Chains A and B, each alone.
Chain A
Amino acid sequence: MMEILEYIGMALILIGGIFLFLGALGLVRMPDLYTRLQAGTKASTLGAMSTVLGVGLLHPDWILKILIIVIFIGVANPLSSHALARASYRKGVIPFSKNNIDKYKKAVKKQIKNLTS
């Protein structure tokens, strides 16, 4: 039984390492901030969650604290990427777009107008 848990844990650690690497690679390869955020957030969240959970399966007596770390990463990482995307858009970072699809511009303009008037 312990051996099966160990194999699953090792597999999770390996998968996590691969996804952490892919997240960092996406950070370098993508063309603009928003696409970079997409690649970075998703891949690094699952990568970190899976690595940490893998260690939790190798050491069953650590599992409670490990679960807290996993849940914290799952909640906090999308939040910080959302805050960064919003702040950058308001600071004037224009998203890269082939077909110029941008429904957010109008809403931001309206909000700024309401603030200043």
Chain B
Amino acid sequence: MTNKKSIPLLKRKSSPGKFIYTFLIMFIIWLGFTTSFEPAELITGVFVSLIIALFTDRIFSCCGMRVLMPHKIIYFIQYFFVFIMALIKANFDVARRVISPDLPINPGIVKFKTKLTNSFARLVLANSITLTPGTLTIDAIGNTFYVHWIDVTSEEPEVAYKEIAESFEKILMKIYED
């Protein structure tokens, strides 16, 4: 596994796909903010989104329209459901630990390596880990994640990886890495 060196933000290349992707996301956010479909609002929104997309597409978007292919959208929906289930489980886990009088915790910091190379995919993985049962991402140096685990079952990186990250990483690999 080679550790691909990340490119500085301002030196990334812009491309039509990235431009369209940024424009679409910005326009959807504009619609959410104004929540009106009058022509004047829509035209202003189009112009503002165009200007923002012109300047920030290379920073905002990692891989352009590639992410919005139909088969990837199915994986997004699958990821969403896996994530929501983990979030609800995490909350009942926290509730159980907080309410029980003797605080059943055995915390520690473990590490494991991720296979993802895309930096945005790593961000999504780190955020998901923070919101799933008993884990909190402290730092990611290169491809190594350092995770605070509230109930450590094993110090071994492989076991920790299997328990914490595998279910998310499998889907993220399909979305961002092929």
* A interface with B by C-beta (< 8 Å): 19, 22-23, 25-26, 29-32, 34-35, 37-39, 41-43, 45-46, 61-62, 64-65, 67-68, 74-75, 78-79, 81-82, 85-86, 89, 95-104, 107, 111
How many angstroms from the CA of A30 to the CA of B99 in the assembled complex?
11
Residue from A32, A45, A101 within 8 A of B109 (CB atoms): A101
B160 — nearest CB in chain A belongs to which residue? Answer: A103
How many angstroms from the CA of A38 to the CA of B148 in the assembled complex?
9
Contact A97 B108 (CB under 8 A): yes
Contact A38 B134 (CB under 8 A): yes
Determine the chain A residues whose CB is within 8 A of the CB of B43 once the complex forms.
none
How many angstroms from the CA of A20 to the CA of B137 in the assembled complex?
21
Give me the 6 closest cross-chain CB pairs, A-B, nearest first: A101-B108, A78-B130, A26-B98, A64-B32, A103-B111, A68-B32
Q: Which of B146-164 contact A (CB under 8 A)?
A: 146, 148, 150, 152, 155
* B interface with A by C-beta (< 8 Å): 29, 31-33, 35, 87-88, 90-91, 94-95, 97-99, 103, 105-111, 126-127, 130-131, 134-139, 141, 144, 146, 148, 150, 152, 155
How many angstroms from the CA of A37 to the CA of B150 in the assembled complex?
11
How many angstroms from the CA of A92 to the CA of B57 in the assembled complex?
38
Interface residues of chain B: helix, strand, loop or mixed (majority): mixed
B132 — nearest CB in chain A belongs to which residue? Answer: A42
Contact B148 A65 (CB under 8 A): no
Determine the chain A residues whose CB is within 8 A of the CB of B106 once the complex forms.
98-99
Determine the chain A residues whose CB is within 8 A of the CB of B95 once the complex forms.
19, 22, 43
Residue from A31, A78, A107 within 8 A of B127 (CB atoms): A78
Determine the chain B residues whose CB is within 8 A of the CB of A25 once the complex forms.
98-99
A38 and B94 in contact, given A46-B87, A68-B33, A95-B109 (Cβ under 8 angstroms):
yes
Determine the chain A residues whose CB is within 8 A of the CB of B98 once the complex forms.
22, 25-26, 29-30, 39, 43
How many angstroms from the CA of A68 to the CA of B26 in the assembled complex?
12
